[in-house]
């Protein structure tokens, strides 16, 4: 206590005289009888009331949450350890350096294989896709968030989100049926116009199924995801920053360069890097479009090229012992590549947050020349390094005479050109995506006739019309349902652990593991279940094996979305419950989880929609059948993505019609799930009523 | 059974930061005691130590004794969960459970504790809502969400929820600071009625409110930012406002600082 001022002057406090207390406590006995009898009936014995009673429930529940977290840790540990042991087996059998060699003949004697060729193909194809896709996606996002009228923007936003959910097998179908036949001509033009650039140079007749074609399909695939995230980021630009720019007389484009782009820079870059990660791990669309060759390619327009994921999907069924190990090793290389890319994305995003002092700071590449790294919204800063520079003003007649009718021609032209480019980017993004949707709907509706939804392919030759996808639809629903049944309870418990209990090494490791799993290429999940469940444990191909692979993919989605939702529950509600003397576990189960439930359910539905379209993992483990198998635990089972893949790669028109119809069915199921999830989120949004 | 609170030599910490330094005070049963003082002086922290809500915040801890009728709340074998059933709390912002109806909100304390008194529950809800002066306003819409009420009604709903578990003590942390003057008046009237049954401690920024509702007033202060809060004096409200024994109290009450 500070000496000057006597801290407490309490006439009846503990320091006060005893009798004072006795006097005041006297009325207590009187009025205990005066108390209304109503609530009195619910009293517990006051003497014993303050000692422990709630501990066992709390202990059990916390134990369950912790157990789920540990389970996840062990599961991922097992996956990595198992894959590494398999890979080491193949690497030690390899007679050359597995990182540097171009050949892929692991099952020969002596075994000769290396990942250099496929890794090169993966990197180049993905980078090419990124070079085309990223600028278009960012431009489209700018158009939707800044240029489109508000109402249209909302609709477009939903459309982009929904397109991001279109499964890759549908892009592959579009690529092989629509794009590839048109690629010959496009390639010729590219070769003629850009032939002076070595990579675009090609002497022979350009092949339709080239790295160029695969890159374009990949670019279209990453468009929606990059655009969706960039749009979110742009929409979050603080109004004050934008108004500060406008208030200084900035044109729309100047405003975007001053306020929107610098604010969203790190978010957009991390979206692009995430799109890159997705392109790296993409399997089925590339496998469908490329005609794989084992030769090293240096020209985009040559036939051939290969990627790690596509190589696994195509080769695994034909591989023997060492071959499988070699493919697993290549899968691990892919895993490490995506991991690094995802971490890069997260690092960029986080750097943006840290350097952000209430708003994202940093310099635009052009502006850094002006030498300022100050927060963008500072009006002085805006004044200093833009076209509204006082020095310019003197040379600028419009500015000098303070014309109110127009800005300087140069600025107006720049603004116009920028608006035009952004709108063009939007159109470029929309065209292929619209083409995909239109083709799926029109071709799909044609194949939809007859008994497509009720019949299987049993006793139907691929070259014959008729037949249907009932066996595949049933299989996909069962597999996704089973996967959700396993992933949801574990995932939600892990999320509860992270939000309500997590601290220390376990929480940190689980957060890390979930990060890693988010970037797990789906083919690697399939690879794991194939090598462990089927090859090591000796189980046969089955729907359930597919469920297990899908479960691995769904777990991080459920954990991450549930975690976000639980974090959104106001702390005041937990406190209100604690203040009523409710133990923690009941607070979590009866107050926190119900409050977060609509969000958790939405996340689960989006997760189910996402795994339903996964082709690569089921391709490896569910087996192939054209008959109805209702039992996911025994025998090969159909699967809708696999059905589409199989029909699309047949050389018969009836089969291709069935592929379109299957794609329409799959998209419809996914869209319905998505819409239902969004409706639920909107309907349960607090404050709507 | 309203109970007496005896705080002796109590200090409270947030991690390494000492928020409260060595406080001793007594709160008599069936009285209203107001905690006043400038922002950051620790009055809410002291309030939260009285039902062990302080330790809900990670890293927060308490030293010293808080006796509730001679039982040390921080003693061996005391379950904080059970303490909070005995010492109820109403928060600054009304916080009804958004997923529950008005009825369920009132019944929440017992239901969440796993108690089911099917027949009696209706009586209890009505009794508690009457106790919170809310029954007449909501009796026709008990099944509607609690979040649909006005701010003042929500706060009275939270009071009904708190008294439904039959606490001995009711803590109120600036219960009117988010409310308009009419709703504030309703809560103040309610406090005057609740005094007959409960020991009430209320934190308030509003000195008129302290003067209106409390029997005794405790004044807290801090020497400066980063310093722990201290109890300057506690006395009958009339004396604190008319003739405080400490200069700092007088300065604060007459508006010379804070």
Domain containing residue B133: CATH number? 3.40.50.300
Using CA atoms, how far apart are residues A650 and A666, in angstroms rounded to an integer?
19
**A6, A38, A579 ranked by CB distance to B124: nearest:** A38
- pLDDT score recorded for residue A207: 66
Cβ–Cβ below 8 Å for B112 and A577: yes
Domain that holds residue B11: 5-253
Nearest CA in chain B to A688: B148
Are A333 and A280 contained in the same domain?
A: yes
Q: What is the pLDDT of residues A217-234, one digit of tens each?
A: 999 999 998 998 899 889
Greater confidence (A546 vs A182) lies with: A546
Option in A7, A49, A594 nearest B86 (CB): A49
A530 and A416 within one domain: no
- Residue A635 and residue A556 in one domain: yes
CATH of residue A614's domain is: 1.10.3720.10
- Are B108 and A577 a contacting pair at CB < 8 A? yes
Q: Is A520 helix (H, G, I), strand (E, B) or coil?
A: coil
On whether residue A97 sits in a domain, the answer given is no
Identify whether residues A400 and A514 lie together within a single domain. no
Look at chain B and report how many structural domains it folds into: 1
Average pLDDT over residues B131-144: 92
Same-domain status, A499 and A642 = yes
The pLDDT-based confidence of B25 (bands split at 50, 70, 90) is very high
Flag if A5 and B28 touch (Cβ within 8 Å): no
In a domain, B77, yes or no: yes
Chain A closest CA to B181's CA: distance in Å? Answer: 23
Q: Please determine, for residue A364, whether its predicted confidence score (pLDDT) is greater than 70.
A: no
Mean pLDDT, all residues of chain A: 79
Shortest Cα distance, chain B CAs vs residue A3, angstroms: 12
Nearest CA in chain B to A23: B28
Least confident of A40-44, B113-117, B146-150: A40-44
Is B120 inside a domain boundary?
yes
Mean pLDDT of the A440-453 span: 82
Best interface-test mutation with B: which of A572, A581, A584, A688 has the largest number of B CBs within 10 A?
Answer: A581
The Cα–Cα gap between A277 and A515 comes to: 13
Of A10, A14, A572, the CB nearest to B91: A572
Q: Looking at CA atoms only, how far is residue A573 from chain B in angstroms?
A: 6
User: In terms of domains, do A458 and A440 share one?
Assistant: no
Q: Are the Cβ atoms of A578 and B235 closer than 8 angstroms?
A: no
Is A597 part of any domain? yes
DSSP A545-581: HHHHHHHHHHHHHHHHHHHHHHHHS-HHHHHHHHHTT
C-alpha to C-alpha distance for B241 and B253, rounded to whole angstroms? 7
- CB contacts, 8 Å: B236 with chain A: 11
Domain membership flag for residue B172: yes
Is pLDDT larger for residue A489 or for residue A149?
Answer: A489
Please tell me whether residues A430 and A459 are part of one structural domain. Answer: no
Among A448, A476, A496, the domain-final residue is A448
Residue A384: is the preceding peptide bond cis (ω within 30°)? no
**End position of a domain, from candidates A448, A472, A492:** A448
Residue A577 scores a pLDDT above 70: yes
> Which candidate, A334, A211, A353, places its Cα nearest to that of A269?
A353
Mutant choice from B6, B29, B79, B81 vs A, greatest count of A C-beta within 10 A: B81
Take residue A306 and report the two structure tokens written for it. Answer: 């290969």
Identify whether residues A247 and A306 lie together within a single domain.
Answer: yes
Rounded distance between C-alpha atoms, residue B219 and residue B253, angstroms:
10
- What residues of B are in contact with residue A55 (Cβ under 8 Å)? 79
- What does each C-alpha distance from A217 to B52, B143, B244 come to in angstroms? 60, 54, 81
Q: How far apart are CA A270 and CA A347, in angstroms?
A: 8
Mean pLDDT of the residues in chain B: 90
What number is the average pLDDT over the span B240-258? 86
A166 within 8 A of A673, measured Cβ to Cβ: no
The pLDDT score that the predictor gives to residue B172 is 95
In a domain, A222, yes or no: yes
* Test mutation, B95, B172, B249, B257, chain A, max A CBs within 10 A: B95
- CB pair distance less than 8 Å for B89 and A16: no
Is position B258 within any domain? no
- C-alpha A648/C-alpha A641 separation (Å) is 11
How many domains is chain A partitioned into structurally?
2
By C-alpha distance, the chain B residue nearest A591 is: B97
Enumerate the residues of chain A whose CB falls inside 8 A of the CB of residue B110: 42
| Tokens (6 digits) for B64 | 């010293």
User: Residues B219-250, buried b or exposed e (16+ Cβ, 10 A)?
Assistant: bbbbeeeebbbbbbbbbebeebbeebebebbe
Which of A177-186, A561-570, A655-664, B21-30 has the least mean pLDDT?
A: A177-186
Q: Between B127 and A190, whose confidence is greater?
A: B127
The whole-number average pLDDT for the span A415-422 is 93
Judge if A463 and A337 occupy the same domain.
no
Interchain CB distance below 8 Å, B235 and A46: no
pLDDT in tens, A291-311: 766 666 667 777 667 888 888
Domain boundary residue, one of A420, A448, A476: A448
A367 band by pLDDT with thresholds 50, 70 and 90: very low
The band of A41, judged by pLDDT with boundaries at 50, 70 and 90, is: very low
* pLDDT for the residue A234: 92
Q: How many Cβ atoms sit within 10 Å of the Cβ of residue A465? A: 15
Is the CB of B91 less than 8 angstroms away from the CB of A582?
no
For residue A347, pLDDT over 70 is answered with yes
Distance, in angstroms, between A46 CA and closest chain B CA? 9
The answer to whether residues A440 and A470 belong to one domain is: no
Could you tell me the pLDDT band of residue A353, with boundaries at 50, 70 and 90?
low
Establish if A6 belongs to a structural domain: no
Over residues A97-128, the pLDDT tens digits come to: 878 777 788 888 788 888 888 888 888 889 99
* Chain A residues near residue B98 by CB distance under 8 angstroms: 573, 595, 686
Same domain? For A517 and A394 the reply is: no
- Residue A32 above 70 pLDDT? no
What domain range is A595 assigned to? 450-683
Prediction ipTM score: 0.84
Q: What are the distances in angstroms from CA B169 to CA A221, B34, B86, B165, B216?
A: 62, 14, 7, 11, 15
Instruction: Return the pLDDT at B126.
Output: 93
* Stretch among A8-12, A404-408, A410-414, A542-546 having the lowest mean pLDDT: A8-12
Sign of CA dihedral B109, B112, B116, B121: positive
- What's the alpha-carbon Rg for chain A, to the nearest Å? 31
Buried b or exposed e, range A420-453, using 16+ CB within 10 angstroms: eebbebbebbbebbeebbebbbebbeebbeeebe
Residue B133 pLDDT greater than 50, yes or no:
yes
Return the HEC string of A45-114. CCCCCCECCCHHHHHHHHHHHHHHHHHHHHHHHHHHHHHHHHHHHHHHHCCCCCCCCCCEECCCCCCEEC
**What is the chain B residue with the closest CA to A589?**
B112
Does A350 lie in the same domain as A487?
no
- Assess if residue A678 is contained within a domain: yes
């Amino acid at each position: 206590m500070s000496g000057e001022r006597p801290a407490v002057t309490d006439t009846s406090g503990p320091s006060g005289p005893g009798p004072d207390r006795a006097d005041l406590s006297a009325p207590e006995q009187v009025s205990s009888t005066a108390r209304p009898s109503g609530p009195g009936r619910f009293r517990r014995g006051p003497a014993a009331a303050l000692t422990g009673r709630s501990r066992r429930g709390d202990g059990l529940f916390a134990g369950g949450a912790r157990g789920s977290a540990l389970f996840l840790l062990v599961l991922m540990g097992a996956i990595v350890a198992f894959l590494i042991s398999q890979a080491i087996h193949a690497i030690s059998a390899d007679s050359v350096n597995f990182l540097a060699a171009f050949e892929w003949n692991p099952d020969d004697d002596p075994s000769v294989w290396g990942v250099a060729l496929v890794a090169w193909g993966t990197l180049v194809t993905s980078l090419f896709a990124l070079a085309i896709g990223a600028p278009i996606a960012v431009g489209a996002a700018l158009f939707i968030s800044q240029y489109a009228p508000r109402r249209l923007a909302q609709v477009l936003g939903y459309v982009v989100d929904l397109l991001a959910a279109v499964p890759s097998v549908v892009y592959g179908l579009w690529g092989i049926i629509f794009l590839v036949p048109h690629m010959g001509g496009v390639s010729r033009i590219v070769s003629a116009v850009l032939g002076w650039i070595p990579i675009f140079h090609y002497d022979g007749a350009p092949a339709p199924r080239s790295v160029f074609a695969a890159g374009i399909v990949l670019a279209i695939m990453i468009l929606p995801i990059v655009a969706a995230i960039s749009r979110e980021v742009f929409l979050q630009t603080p109004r004050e920053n934008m108004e500060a720019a406008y208030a200084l007389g900035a044109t729309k484009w100047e405003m975007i360069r001053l306020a929107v782009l610098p604010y969203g820079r790190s978010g957009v870059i991390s979206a692009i890097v995430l799109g890159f990660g997705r392109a790296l791990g993409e399997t089925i669309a590339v496998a469908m479009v490329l005609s794989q060759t084992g030769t090293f390619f240096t020209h985009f327009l040559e036939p051939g090229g290969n990627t790690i994921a596509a190589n696994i999907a195509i080769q695994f069924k034909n591989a023997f012992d060492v071959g499988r190990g070699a493919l697993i090793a290549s899968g691990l290389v892919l895993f490490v590549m995506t991991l690094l890319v995802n971490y890069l994305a997260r690092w960029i995003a986080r750097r943006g947050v840290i350097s952000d002092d209430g708003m994202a700071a940093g310099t635009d590449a052009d502006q850094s020349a002006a030498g300022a790294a100050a927060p963008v919204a500072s009006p002085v800063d805006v004044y200093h390094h833009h076209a509204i520079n006082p020095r310019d003003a003197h040379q600028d007649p419009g500015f000098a005479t303070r014309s109110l009718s127009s800005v300087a021609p140069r600025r107006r032209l720049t603004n116009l050109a920028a608006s035009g480019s952004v709108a063009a980017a939007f159109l470029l993004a929309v065209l292929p995506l619209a083409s995909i949707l239109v083709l799926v709907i029109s071709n799909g509706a044609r194949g939809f006739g007859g008994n497509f939804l009720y019949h299987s392919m049993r006793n139907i030759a691929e070259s014959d019309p008729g037949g249907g996808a009932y066996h595949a639809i049933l299989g996909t629903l069962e597999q996704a349902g089973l996967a959700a049944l396993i992933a949801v309870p574990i995932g939600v418990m892990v999320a509860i652990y992270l939000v309500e209990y997590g601290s220390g090494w376990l929480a940190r490791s689980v957060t890390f593991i979930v990060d890693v799993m988010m970037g797990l290429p789906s083919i690697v999940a399939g690879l794991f279940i194939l090598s462990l469940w089927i090859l090591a444990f000796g189980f046969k191909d089955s729907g359930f094996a597919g469920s297990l692979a899908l479960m691995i993919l769904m777990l991080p989605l459920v954990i991450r979305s549930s975690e976000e939702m639980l974090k959104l529950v106001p702390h005041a509600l937990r406190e209100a419950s604690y203040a009523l003397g409710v133990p923690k576990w009941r607070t979590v189960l009866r107050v926190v989880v119900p409050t977060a439930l609509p969000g958790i359910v939405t996340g689960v539905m989006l997760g189910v929609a996402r795994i339903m379209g996964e082709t690569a993992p089921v391709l490896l483990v569910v087996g192939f059948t054209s008959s109805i198998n209702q039992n996911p635990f025994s025998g090969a089972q159909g699967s809708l993505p696999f059905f589409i893949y199989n029909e699309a790669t047949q050389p018969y028109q009836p089969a291709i019609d069935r592929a379109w119809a299957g794609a329409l069915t799959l998209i419809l199921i996914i869209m319905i799930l998505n819409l239902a999830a969004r409706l639920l989120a909107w309907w349960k949004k607090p404050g709507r009523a | 059974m309203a109970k007496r609170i005896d705080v002796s030599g109590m200090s409270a910490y947030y991690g390494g930061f000492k928020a409260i330094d060595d406080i001793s005070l007594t709160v008599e049963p069936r009285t209203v005691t107001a905690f006043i003082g400038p922002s950051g002086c620790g009055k809410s922290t002291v309030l939260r130590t009285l039902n062990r809500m302080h330790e809900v915040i990670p890293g927060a801890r308490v030293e010293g004794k808080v006796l509730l009728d001679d039982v040390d709340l921080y003693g061996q074998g005391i379950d904080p969960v059970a303490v909070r059933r005995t010492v109820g709390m109403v928060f600054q912002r009304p916080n009804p459970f958004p997923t529950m109806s008005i009825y369920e909100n009132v019944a929440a304390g017992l239901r969440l504790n796993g108690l089911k008194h099917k027949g009696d529950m209706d009586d209890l809800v009505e009794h508690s809502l009457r106790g919170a002066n809310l029954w007449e306003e909501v009796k026709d819409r008990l099944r509607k969400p609690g979040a649909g009420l006005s701010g003042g009604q929500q706060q009275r709903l939270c009071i009904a929820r708190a008294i439904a578990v039959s606490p001995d003590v009711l803590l109120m942390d600036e219960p009117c600071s988010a409310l308009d003057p009419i709703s504030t008046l309703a809560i103040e009237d309610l406090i005057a009625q609740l005094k007959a049954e409960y020991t009430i401690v209320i934190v308030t920024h509003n000195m008129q409110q302290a003067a209106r509702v409390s029997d005794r007033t405790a004044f807290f202060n801090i020497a400066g930012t980063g310093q722990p809060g201290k109890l300057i004096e506690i006395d009958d409200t009339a004396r604190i406002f008319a003739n405080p024994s400490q200069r700092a109290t007088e300065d604060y009450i007459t508006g010379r600082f804070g």
